[in-house]
Amino acid sequence: MIGVTIENLDFRKIIPKFDSPDTLFYIDPPYPMSTRSAGGKGYVHEMADECHRQLAWLLHQSQGKVAISGYACPLYDQLYADWRRDEKPTTANGQRGSVPRNEVLWMNYVS
């Protein structure tokens, strides 16, 4: 059976609940603080670097395929160094006049 489930809960609950060899997790966490320009909007639910480390540890234990999106930064370079990495040029929120950046997708699978 093929299906899609979209959840908005703490990663510590969701990942173990749905983890299996047949699962594909797409993870879009709040960007680490080090990737944000000064004065950028915050998230309702922020993640400290320690939470990003906990998330990475849990994702590395996963039986399923994982894709996590974000911006390149030393923290993610360390946490996902052993994963495949694809980059795509983009602008913040697709707005004109925004500074171009590279959105990165880290994946623990080949294709």
Reported as a single tens digit per residue, the pLDDT across 14-44 is: 999 999 999 999 998 987 877 766 555 566 6
Q: Structure pTM?
A: 0.82
How is 33-95 classified by DSSP, letter by letter?
GGGSPTT----SS---HHHHHHHHHHHHH-SSEEEEEEE--HHHHHHTTTSEEEEEEEEGGG-
pLDDT average, residue stretch 58-74? 95
For tokens 């004109």, what's the residue? 96
Are the beta carbons of 54 and 94 closer than 8 angstroms?
Answer: no
